């Protein structure tokens, strides 16, 4: 099983499978002077106080879910970075689900015309999809992701321990993106999943790592061949067109993965 998976986009970076994200993050940013950690209030408590060399940490608390991906939150993030004196050599870290890593990445993409950022996904959908591939953005009242930018992180740190905190519902919903990777590219994912239950996968860390790694590999290959979605990156949207309509119709009460599952079945 690979310890890391390389992504070759507008910059080369690694998706690192770590057993201690705090240690990996500390090693990665120990030379930086300032780090902005973008998290929700609930996640802030789990993250605790981070340390890395002489790096000064600023914790930016944003609303959970799609609410956190608004232009107002983006404006607030820019202000926090400016107020703390962030320069081009400083760094942003997004810790959370896809909405958090999307808005953290977009703040990094736009502040000072682009500074480095790190994604630390805490959900399965985030780890296998949102955090990888450099799509960052915010929502407008007119729709999801209507503003954004392609800006790859310098690293993605995947620590499977985060997934233990997910409810069965969120865990299962995240698997829609894993199953999607099975349908579009790696059929072995479907074979491995046949006859499995959420409970069984949760107990089998080797299987979980295999499925997540395979999905990350699928995404890395697609993104490496078409970073700016000019031809085949669109394949990653399998199940999403109808799924997004269902998601919007449910007023975001259904999970993204649940809607993508409906979209794939459709
Ligand atoms: N989530 C689809 C993509 O990254 O292209």
Q: In the prediction, which pLDDT does 1 show?
A: 46
Distance (angstroms) between ligand 1 centre and the Cα of 149 equals: 12
Percent of the chain surpassing pLDDT 90:
95
CA-CA-CA-CA torsion sign (175, 180, 186, 191): positive
- Output the CA–CA distances (angstroms, integers) from residue 183 to 205, 215, 225, 258, in the order listed: 22, 11, 18, 16
Give the residue-averaged pLDDT of 157-174: 97
pLDDT exceeds cutoff 80 at 240? yes
Contact between 210 and 1 under an 8 Å Cβ cutoff? The reply is: yes
pLDDT exceeds cutoff 90 at 217? yes
Which residues form the pocket of ligand 1, taking CB atoms under 6 Å from any ligand atom?
Answer: 129, 133, 135, 233, 236-237
The phi, psi pair for 175, rounded to 5°, reads: -70, -15
Which token pair is 81? 């970075």
Ligand 1 binding pocket mutation candidate from 133, 185, 225, 239 (most atoms within 8 A of CB): 133
Measured distance CA(218)–CA(224) in Å, rounded: 10
Q: Could you read off the pLDDT of 82-112 as tens digits, one per residue? A: 999 999 999 999 999 999 999 999 999 999 9
pTM of the predicted model, to two decimals? 0.96
Kind of pairing, strands 56-61 and 34-39? Answer: parallel
């Amino acid at each position: 099983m690979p310890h890391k998976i390389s992504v070759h986009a507008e910059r080369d970076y690694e998706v690192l499978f770590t057993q201690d994200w705090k240690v990996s993050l500390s090693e990665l940013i120990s030379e930086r002077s300032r780090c902005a950690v973008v998290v929700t209030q609930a996640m802030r408590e789990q993250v605790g106080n981070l340390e890395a060399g002489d790096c000064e940490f600023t914790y930016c608390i944003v609303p959970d879910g799609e609410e956190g991906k608004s232009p107002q939150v983006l404006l607030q993030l820019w202000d926090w970075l400016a107020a703390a004196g962030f320069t081009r050599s400083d760094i942003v870290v997004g810790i959370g689900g896809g909405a958090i890593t999307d808005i953290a990445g977009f703040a990094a993409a736009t502040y000072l015309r682009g500074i480095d950022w790190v994604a630390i996904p805490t959900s399965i959908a985030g780890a296998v999809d949102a955090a990888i591939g450099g799509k960052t953005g915010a929502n407008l009242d007119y729709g999801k992701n209507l503003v954004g930018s392609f800006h790859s992180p310098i690293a993605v740190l995947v620590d499977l321990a985060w997934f233990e905190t997910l409810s069965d519902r969120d865990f299962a919903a995240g698997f829609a993106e894993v199953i999607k990777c099975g349908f579009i590219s790696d059929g072995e994912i479907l074979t491995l999943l046949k006859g499995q239950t959420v409970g069984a996968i949760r107990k089998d860390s080797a299987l979980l790592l295999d499925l997540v790694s395979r999905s990350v590999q699928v995404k890395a290959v697609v993104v490496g061949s078409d970073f700016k979605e000019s031809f085949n990156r669109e394949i990653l949207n399998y199940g999403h067109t109808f799924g997004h309509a269902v998601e919007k119709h449910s007023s975001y009460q259904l999970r993204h993965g649940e809607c993508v599952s409906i979209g794939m079945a459709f």
